[in-house]
Structure formats: structure tokens, C-alpha cells
Amino acid sequence: PLAKNRLDNELEYVLKTGSADYFLFVSDLACYLKGKGISIGLGRGASVGSLLAYLLGIVNFRLAPPKKG
């Protein structure tokens, strides 16, 4: 339930700010670069902790579980 709530909140924010196309573009770019063997790094800013970015393949490391409360 915590991960679902986190993802719901992130999706709501992305849709509210009109960032969906940006996330999809970056996801496509990350997938392309990874397919060519090009490292894309860990990400920057808030995207590093984004479950959505992780699920889209934009960041590629395990996230800490969401904090309770």
C-alpha cells in the first residue's frame, strides 16, 4: 500500500504539472542509451527518489522503501 500511494502521488503530480511527455521522453532516451551500452548515471534532484522514474527505467538502482507516516 505504501508503494501504491507513493506512485499515485507521483503520477498525480506529473499529470498536474504537465510533465508526462517529459518523463516518457527521458524514459525512451534512457532505454535507447542503455541499449547502446552508454551509461546514463544515477539521475539528479528529486528524480533520484522517484518511484515512477525507477519504474520507467530512468534511474537504475534500488530505492529505499517509503517512510511510514
Q: Is the pLDDT of residue 2 over 80?
A: yes
* pTM (2 d.p.): 0.73
Taking 70 as the threshold, does the pLDDT of residue 4 lie above it? yes
Which residue, chain included where needed, has cell 527521458?
26
Nearest C-alpha neighbor of 27 from the set 55, 47, 56: 56
Q: Mind listing the pLDDT tens digit for each residue in 6-65? A: 999 999 999 999 999 999 999 999 999 989 999 887 666 666 668 898 889 888 766 566
